[in-house]
């Protein structure tokens, strides 16, 4: 009996020791959530961003990790299903206990996740251009706000190309609709008449562009220089650009400037009919800087394919990840509250040259570049801002937001402060 009792005690002790070792092992890693669509209509754009975060984690681990711990990626697939983004975000935070999440592309996916991050006071780095009209304590927006992409693009088309008529073509969800609302207000403030603005929306994955492109051609045949501002997202871009080529819509006649088409999207397309059309971003793979050359080389080596391209949202993750790593180092902890505070004011190199800084409104400073599509699927920069532009959460051109101001610096800490009535309208809007 004594021998049996000792054996039982040894077995229990062995189990407890094993459990303890597993717990210690878990505590010895810093978990990083990766929340990008790996299937569905947005996989064409988001899969690369998943790989980018994995590369950044790998590179950070080669440097010794953070706070003496290795970083561990936890990857989930929300499958281009917007409600599923919230479910997967909750899984990452509540079940997997991640310290930070990098994810999302569409604004509807971000807005789906937002209440979850606010509920748990966790941190989301969102790497894609968006419509603004939002500032959350828990989101760090490393993509462009409208004043860092959409508005400069209009200025370029108006001032450099003499555009008088405007087609605002987008996928039917919050980002294109809000961005086009801002642009329509901006154009009218610049003296453009309502009849010189055509707006069209199509669903995700739309494939039949024949009649829409025909309408664009008719709209542009009125004797005034016409351009298309495209906020078409995802794999719908492939048939859209094919139809433009099929109907002979050339850049000299009706230039298209895209906000959601970069090198990754072009890599799977026949670019010959697209040469001369444009895109507005804050980074292009063709940018000639030492940092960019190093990034491209590291990426192609990691992905084991020297033909793989880089793009703007990848750079946004590069900036955001390095900002987070620096803030964790400065704070000496991964505690979300401490890291949120430590992130404000952090500056790290971007890939276009210079330093990008996290502003108190949780947006960053970025250059704005206009690129022209080349026959090799790359972009030639034809215009850029003279310096970096501060991201503005609230548009100066919409009546409901022009009086709002955002700053998460303590003790202010308000995402939508009304400068007229001196009241904080709430954390988000």
Q: What is the reported pLDDT for 97?
A: 98
What residues of the chain score a pLDDT lower than 50?
1-4, 6-8, 10-26, 429
CA terminus-to-terminus distance, the chain: 69
Q: How, if at all, do strands 256-258 and 197-202 pair?
A: unpaired
Pair of tokens at residue 349 = 């190199």
- DSSP 8-state secondary structure symbol assigned to residue 194: G
Domains and CATH numbers, the chain: 24-144+291-367 (3.40.50.2300), 147-287+371-390 (3.40.50.2300)
Q: What is the reported pLDDT for 183?
A: 96
Residue 327 CB burial class (10 angstroms; 0-12, 13-18, ≥19): buried
In this structure, what is the dihedral angle of CA atoms 312, 317, 320, 325, given to the nearest 10 degrees? Answer: -150
> What predicted TM-score, i.e. pTM, was given to this entire model?
0.88
Q: What is the reported pLDDT for 274?
A: 87
Q: What is the reported pLDDT for 426?
A: 66
DSSP, collapsed to helix, strand or coil, labels residue 236 as helix
Q: What is the reported pLDDT for 269?
A: 79
Instruction: Please say whether the beta carbons of 158 and 171 come within 8 A.
Output: no
Q: How, if at all, do strands 70-76 and 29-35 pair?
A: parallel
User: What span, in angstroms and rounded, lies between the C-alpha atoms of 198 and 213?
Assistant: 12
Phi, psi (rounded to 5 degrees) for 397: -110, 0
Give per-residue pLDDT as tens, 379-429: 999 999 999 999 999 999 998 899 999 999 988 899 999 999 999 976 554
CB neighbours (10 Å) of residue 92? Answer: 27
Q: What is the reported pLDDT for 372?
A: 97
């Amino acid at each position: 009996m004594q021998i049996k009792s000792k054996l039982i005690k040894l077995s229990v002790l062995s189990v407890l020791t094993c459990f303890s070792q597993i717990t210690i092992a878990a505590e010895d890693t810093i978990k990083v959530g990766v929340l990008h669509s790996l299937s569905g209509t947005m996989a064409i754009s988001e899969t690369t961003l998943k790989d980018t975060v994995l590369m950044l984690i790998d590179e950070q681990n080669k440097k010794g990790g953070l706070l003496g711990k290795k970083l561990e990626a936890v990857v989930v697939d929300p499958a281009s299903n917007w409600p599923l983004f919230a479910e997967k975000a909750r899984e990452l935070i509540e079940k997997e206990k991640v310290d930070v999440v990098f994810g999302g592309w569409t604004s509807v996916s971000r807005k789906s996740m937002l209440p979850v991050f606010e509920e748990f006071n966790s941190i989301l780095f969102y790497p894609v251009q968006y419509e603004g009209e939002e500032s959350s304590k828990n989101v760090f927006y490393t993509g462009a706000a409208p004043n860092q992409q959409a508005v400069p693009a209009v200025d370029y088309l108006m001032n450099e190309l003499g555009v008088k008529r405007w087609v605002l073509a987008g996928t039917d969800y919050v980002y294109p609709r809000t961005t086009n609302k801002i642009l329509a207000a901006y154009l009218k403030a610049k003296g453009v008449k309502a009849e010189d603005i055509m707006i069209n929306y199509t669903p995700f994955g739309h494939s039949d562009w024949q009649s829409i492109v025909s309408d664009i051609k008719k709209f542009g045949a009125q004797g005034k220089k016409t351009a298309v501002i495209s906020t078409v997202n995802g794999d719908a871009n492939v048939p859209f650009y094919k139809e433009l080529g099929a109907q002979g819509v050339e850049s000299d006649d009706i230039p298209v400037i895209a906000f959601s088409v970069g090198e990754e999207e072009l890599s799977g397309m026949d670019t010959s009919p697209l040469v001369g059309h444009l895109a507005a971003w804050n980074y292009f793979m063709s940018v000639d800087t030492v940092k960019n050359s190093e990034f491209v080389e590291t990426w192609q080596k990691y992905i084991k394919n020297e033909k793989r391209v880089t793009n703007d949202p990848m750079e946004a993750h590069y900036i955001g990840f390095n900002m987070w790593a620096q803030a964790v180092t400065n704070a000496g902890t991964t505690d979300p509250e401490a890291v949120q505070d430590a992130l404000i004011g952090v500056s790290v190199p971007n890939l276009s040259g210079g330093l990008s800084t996290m502003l108190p409104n949780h947006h960053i400073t970025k250059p704005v570049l206009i690129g022209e599509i080349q026959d090799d699927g790359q972009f030639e920069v034809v215009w850029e801002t003279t310096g970096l532009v501060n991201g503005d959460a609230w548009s100066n051109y919409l009546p409901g937001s022009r009086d709002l101001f955002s700053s998460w610096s303590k003790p202010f800490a308000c995402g939508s402060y009304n400068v007229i009535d001196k009241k904080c309208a709430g954390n988000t809007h």
